[in-house]
Structure 1
Amino acid sequence: MASQISQQYAYRAQKSLGLVNGTPNYTPVTGFAAPDVAARSMAYSADGRLFAYALPTVVRIYQAEGAQLLQELPLPNIVDFSFSPRGTYLSTWERPAKLEDGAQHKNLRVFSVSTGAELIAFTQKALESWDLQYTISESHAIRLVAGEIQVFRPADWDRGIVDKLRVEGATAVTLSPGLNPSVAVFVAEKKGAPASIKIYGLSTLNSPPTCQKTFFKADRAQMKWNTLGTQVLLLTQTEVDNSNKSYYGETGMYLLSAGGNFDCRVTLDKEGPIHDFAWSPNSKEFGVVYGYMPAKTMLFDQRVRTLHDFGSSPCNFISFNPQGRLIALAGFGNLAGKIEIFDRRTLAKVTAIDAPNTSYCDWSPDGRFLLTATLSPRLRVDNGVKIWHCAGPLVHVQLTEELYDARWRPTPVDNVPPFGTALPTAPAPSASVTQLEKNGALKTATLKPAGAYRPPGARGGATPSIFKREDEGGPGGAATPPRYNRSPVPGAPGYAPGAGQNGYANGNGNGQGQRRAVPGAPPGTAPQNADAQKNRKRKGKNAAGEDGADGAVGDYDGRQQGRGGPPGQGQQRGPNTNGRRTNGGQTPPAVEVTAPVPEEVVPETPATPGLDGAALDAVAKKVRNLNKKLKAIEELKEKAKRGERLEATQLKKMEGETDIRKELATLGA
């Protein structure tokens, strides 16, 4: 039976759409005619039997094996569509529009794949969670409408709603797989009332819930059932983090059993958001990636007991292969794109793959290959598909301009060869890989790991533990080091009692009307420049003019009016303008006032006995340099206390502390 369903993947780009055979040749599927216009969406049926794509005016359905056209539905403006689990029905969604007769636009329609006839239609305004959910046998279908769960029988759509359940405030519903399906309903937190999740049996929908749990801090949720449909994982998230530690809100996780015999919160031992979680195909264990970067990955059993700790690494993605034998941990998005593959039996790392700029990653149905794709509009360059073997080698590359979508053809696990005791060996790479290697397009330079960022003041020696990542021996918790106070500490150069930032005493740090303490200089001195001296002279002249004239304006010969213009056309200074110029009106009578010449103000500098100005500057510089050396020695001592290894030059510098202090004592500092 495995030979009847071959490995295959589909891709959709702005200017192309196609089906490609899998290992070992990776050649286009013969007989498939690509459309001449851009497709809006594409999809396989869950059993891998059918493939379809939507164009602006038509939806075409093919048999995936052999690419034979089965149906062509003249449906314009289809945005999205999906198949039922067995490929019996096709659901389509188009944007709602106003009809001329004022009736509601039924934009969600269900068609028969075999005949192409429309079976039922609904009004569905939102694109999010628009599709109906079917049981695996297609015996029932459900949809959530304004807090009401509606149940249909696909074999008899004409009967309409056969059962319904009203759950006030319900925002999400998920139908479980398995032979005895259950319905999980999530109610978000609202107006102080706690959020809740309730599980009902589909056959006994109006009976009390078999399991329920209430909790706070849950504005929205994501629910994942295990393969058997016996347990559900619930990831809750808030819009805002009240502790201001995360931009994306707070997250929590709960595990509930459909039978009602078990429910609990999944307690995680590292602070930070939950990035991803996934069930194992055996339905008995699940993995969680959580915490601030580098994130931690943990494997739990169905009773939330810890099975294995994968440690901390920069990852935000976890996926089991369909056989549950291999686990892929990766960091995508703003992370480097490194994929680590682990063997579930031995929990040992099999290989590591560098797949930067990856937007999509998925296991092949046989569990032996990983498909990674760089998609647009996430990234508009280097778009394409890469296929990797689980042992690490790259086996196929397809570069496609503006690639929108890529996916494997689904295949039931029973139709693929099982895994052996040993991992399979990698096949020979396809011709595309060989050609790119020959052209040098796949050659990547070996880059030295950059490590954690270190500010300039911390470079040149052993890395302090505060600047190390947690997986490199750094402190736990958030990866960002705490901010240091920029104000000088007591005893450090530039410190003055009451000083604010930047060393200004009793000020706001802007230096206006303030005196700044100069490191190493005697107290009371302040730097002066030519502009400052001119301003002081000008202020002295203005003050003298005000005292001598007592409100009168002196010397109207034009030198103070309009830069030498005639009287009455310039500007005059009044006694209460603080040096500002105001427009003059009539010409006042000339009054000769002899203003006293102010004495030049010289900044006071405390004299040092026995030293002239030049010697004072040399001593101040020497003291300042010695203080810098002492400060550096103190920092080295702190590093030694933290257990960091010091270099020989640093140890030699510490030995000279006594000589430096003696030299400072001789200088009187």
Structure 2
Amino acid sequence: MAAQYSQQYAFRAQKSLGLVSGAPDYAAVPGFESPDVAARTYVYSADGRLYAYALSTVVRIFQAEGAQLLQELALPNIVELDFSPRGTYLSTWERHTKLEEGSQHKNLRVFSVSTGEELISFTQKAQDGWQIQYTISESHAIRLVSSEVQVFRPSEWSKGIVDKLKVEGATSVALSPGLNPSVAVFVAEKKGAPASIKVYGLLTLTGAPTCQKTFFKADRAQIKWNTLGTQVLLLTQTEVDNSNKSYYGETGLYLLSAAGNFDCRVTLDKEGPIHDFAWSPNSKEFGVVYGYMPAKTMLFDQRVRSLHDFGPGPHNFISFNPQGRLILIAGFGNLAGKMTLFDRRTLTKASSIDAPNTSHCEWSPDGRFIMTATLSPRLRVDNGIKVWHCSGPLVHVQLTEELYQTSWKPANVDSVPQFPPQLPPAPTPSESVAAYEATQQKKSAAAGTIGGGEKKVGAYRPPGARGLATPAIFKREDEGGLPASYGGGSSNPGSGANTPTRYRGGTPVPGAPGYGPNGSHQGQGQRRHVPGAPSPSSNNNGNHNNNGPGGEGAKKKRKPKKDGAPALANAPAEGDEADAAPAPQTKRAGKKNANANANANSAAGGSGSATPVAGGSSSPFPIVEDAGADVGDSGVPPTPGVDGLDAAAKKARNLNKKLKAIDELKEKQKRGERLEATQLRKIEGEAEIRKELAGLQVA
């Protein structure tokens, strides 16, 4: 049996359809002719014996080995195909349409593969879940219609429904493999009623369920039986996450036994969504990838006891090879596409593979090779198929424009060579690998990279941080960074407990409670000064100034002069004291101060003066007095932008700024950073600047 195994795979593209033999040549299967028109879909039978594809007007069935044509069915507009487990029956589905005579459109049909005869037809509007589910012996078949599970005998399709189960609100159903098949029925949460899953024996549908469990937060579910059909994993998901932590809703994982002797929720120790889960072929353990990135991967036994922690990493995919010997953990989609393989016996890393832009990943039936493919329309560039050996090397490449579908030819585990105790050596790569690598080197050389490899582009680093080690606070947890800590007992991953203070909102904003001058946070009971408001001290002395926007002086503004000289925005009115007039200012600054005064006066109840509030008052906000504000006896704050320095002091300040910049350039030069010519000239002019500063005789 093992000698008859071949590593055949099939592919479907916009302009081609083909069968490819396996190692070592990966040549096209002789005798198979690609059709002239585009194919809509293809499918292998579960045992790998048959292969079928659908064109716009016909469906053809072949023997997979040798590509011998067995049947040709004149069926137009077929978009989905599916074989029964033993390849006895072929199901076809086409899009549902309304017929003119008003009768039901039977768009789901079942044919005999040996004779091509149509055996039965149904109306199936939805494309999701359209397949008819068979037992492995093909003794029974089931399908879900509304809230009713209908049971048929494929050997007696003409008798119609032989048994049925009514489950109110059922949204999905899964038939288990194994010799004693069971049916798992999921009911979604609706109108406050909890969701549930119920397991029935296929031969005792009229009786009570053998196992059931209810839970909340489950709008839809994914059901996976183990190979023996004794236990089932249920992944639940909500449409919306009420906690606003995820775009994709909340997820939960449950394990139930078909016999009804065990059921529980799989408790996961990291917060975040469940990305993927998979059963081992031995039906005794399963793996789960879960949590916010970097995600965590854990291996559990059939009693939900943790067996091994693979650690955090950028992963969202897990798969066991058909023999259960190797475990593949990878990150696809918006992740980098790195695959890591672990030996199940030793739980150590066996190899790693970089497969970026992968949208399809699949183990070969013998468990030695991995197929990765970039498919359209997920990505429309660099479409193709790559075959990797489990030890890491690339052994075959097939680049195909607008590739839509690809898969290995299935085979029973008993019909393939047994997986050796040690990792098998990689075969010699095909000629396509050398041609592919040469093409990649040419592209790299044209892009100006060194050595023909990909150009290494790291994360952006600001100039002040270049040449220094990355602090642990900015590293991912799997790269040696600080572990996730949510602090204060909170489970919210966005609490920012590990975020540096510079990027955290710990410092009050100006004007907020607790904000003080020079970065000092003054406590409750103190007074704060509002820019543009009269001085609290002048109010206490009884010197109220009504020249603000709320006073009478605001109504008597000086008109602009005819000769074009600008009028003062806050000029004193007639009868006001001359020493209360503010300093002259520009139009923009005057408008700014006027707005500030208006806001301050409106906050004080609309009066022209700000009333001070004592520290023990009932004010809802703490009042903090700004010690840095220079307010004179007149109660008018100084004009913004006028610092009161003479020309010598200003020049000395500018020279000190230049010296500080030169010191920073010297520090960069000591670290070995390359300076530009203009920066070097700045350093050379240091002596002249210090001489000029000494001449000013300013400390």
Q: Which residue of 2 aligns with 1:468?
A: 475
Residue type of the alignment partner of 2:229: G
Q: Which residue of 1 aligns with 2:148?
A: 148
Residue type of the alignment partner of 1:401: E
- Aligned CA RMSD, in angstroms, stands at 3.5
Q: Which residue of 2 aligns with 1:388?
A: 388
Aligned pairs for 1:433-582 within 5 A: 433-441=433-441, 445=453, 448=456, 450=458, 461-471=468-478, 472-476=480-484, 478=493, 482=499, 484-485=504-505, 487=509, 540=567
Per the TM alignment, residue 540 of structure 1 is displaced from its structure 2 partner at its CA by: 3.3
Distance 1:539 1:341, change over 3 A: same
Aligned pairs for 1:295-334 within 5 A: 295-334=295-334
Residue type of the alignment partner of 1:26: Y
Per the TM alignment, residue 457 of structure 1 is displaced from its structure 2 partner at its CA by: 7.2
SS at match of 2:204: coil
Per the TM alignment, residue 605 of structure 1 is displaced from its structure 2 partner at its CA by: 8.1
Separation in 2, partners of 1:35, 1:620: 80
Separation in 2, partners of 1:446, 1:541: 66
Contact 2:153/2:162 (8 A) holds in 1: yes
Contact 1:454/1:467 (8 A) holds in 2: no
Aligned pairs for 1:416-427 within 5 A: 416-427=416-427
Q: Which residue of 2 aligns with 1:232?
A: 232
Q: Which residue of 2 aligns with 1:84?
A: 84
Separation in 2, partners of 1:607, 1:373: 68
Separation in 2, partners of 1:535, 1:418: 100
Normalised TM-score (structure 2) = 0.73
More moved, 342-351 vs 611-620: 611-620
> What do residues 332-386 of structure 1 show as CA deviations (whole Å, max 9, x unaligned)?
0011111111111111111111111001000000000000000000111110000
> What do residues 640-659 of structure 1 show as CA deviations (whole Å, max 9, x unaligned)?
xxxxxxx999xxxxxxxxxx
1:24 pairs with 2:31: no
Separation in 2, partners of 1:158, 1:505: 91
Normalised TM-score (structure 1) = 0.76
Q: Which residue of 2 aligns with 1:160?
A: 160
Residue type of the alignment partner of 1:88: T
Q: Which residue of 2 aligns with 1:62?
A: 62
SS at match of 1:540: coil
Per the TM alignment, residue 2 of structure 1 is displaced from its structure 2 partner at its CA by: 2.0
How many residue pairs end up in the alignment?
550
Q: Which residue of 2 aligns with 1:36?
A: 36
Separation in 1, partners of 2:638, 2:349: 76
Residue type of the alignment partner of 2:431: A
Aligned pairs for 1:73-152 within 5 A: 73-152=73-152
Q: Which residue of 1 aligns with 2:689?
A: none
SS at match of 1:157: helix
Q: Which residue of 2 aligns with 1:612?
A: 646
Residue type of the alignment partner of 1:296: K
Contact 1:185/1:198 (8 A) holds in 2: yes
> What do residues 433-484 of structure 1 show as CA deviations (whole Å, max 9, x unaligned)?
1222344459762555736x76777666442332111112323165986552
Distance 1:441 1:130, change over 3 A: farther
SS at match of 2:567: helix
Residue type of the alignment partner of 1:133: Q
Separation in 2, partners of 1:428, 1:605: 77
Per the TM alignment, residue 102 of structure 1 is displaced from its structure 2 partner at its CA by: 0.4
Distance 1:607 1:543, change over 3 A: closer
Separation in 2, partners of 1:280, 1:491: 62
Separation in 2, partners of 1:617, 1:323: 80
Distance 1:142 1:179, change over 3 A: same
Distance 1:492 1:445, change over 3 A: farther
Residue type of the alignment partner of 2:481: G
Q: Which residue of 2 aligns with 1:248?
A: 248
Separation in 1, partners of 2:209, 2:145: 19
Per the TM alignment, residue 244 of structure 1 is displaced from its structure 2 partner at its CA by: 1.0
Per the TM alignment, residue 176 of structure 1 is displaced from its structure 2 partner at its CA by: 0.3
Residue type of the alignment partner of 2:265: R
Per the TM alignment, residue 24 of structure 1 is displaced from its structure 2 partner at its CA by: 1.2
Distance 1:188 1:613, change over 3 A: same
Residue type of the alignment partner of 1:361: C
SS at match of 2:158: helix
> What do residues 140-166 of structure 1 show as CA deviations (whole Å, max 9, x unaligned)?
111111111110110001111111111
Separation in 2, partners of 1:95, 1:337: 35
Separation in 2, partners of 1:345, 1:274: 25
Q: Which residue of 1 aligns with 2:212?
A: 212
Q: Which residue of 2 aligns with 1:221?
A: 221
Per the TM alignment, residue 243 of structure 1 is displaced from its structure 2 partner at its CA by: 1.2
Separation in 1, partners of 2:243, 2:659: 44
Per the TM alignment, residue 603 of structure 1 is displaced from its structure 2 partner at its CA by: 3.7
Separation in 1, partners of 2:390, 2:60: 34
Separation in 2, partners of 1:2, 1:72: 31
Separation in 2, partners of 1:371, 1:439: 21
SS at match of 1:366: coil
Contact 2:327/2:341 (8 A) holds in 1: yes
1:340 pairs with 2:340: yes
Separation in 1, partners of 2:323, 2:400: 30
> What do residues 285-344 of structure 1 show as CA deviations (whole Å, max 9, x unaligned)?
000001111111000000011111000111111000000000111110011111111111
> What do residues 388-435 of structure 1 show as CA deviations (whole Å, max 9, x unaligned)?
000111100000000000100000000001012111111001111122
Separation in 2, partners of 1:74, 1:607: 92
Residue type of the alignment partner of 1:48: G
Q: Which residue of 1 aligns with 2:170?
A: 170
> What do residues 91-143 of structure 1 show as CA deviations (whole Å, max 9, x unaligned)?
11101111121001111111111111111111111000011100000111111
Aligned pairs for 1:328-407 within 5 A: 328-407=328-407
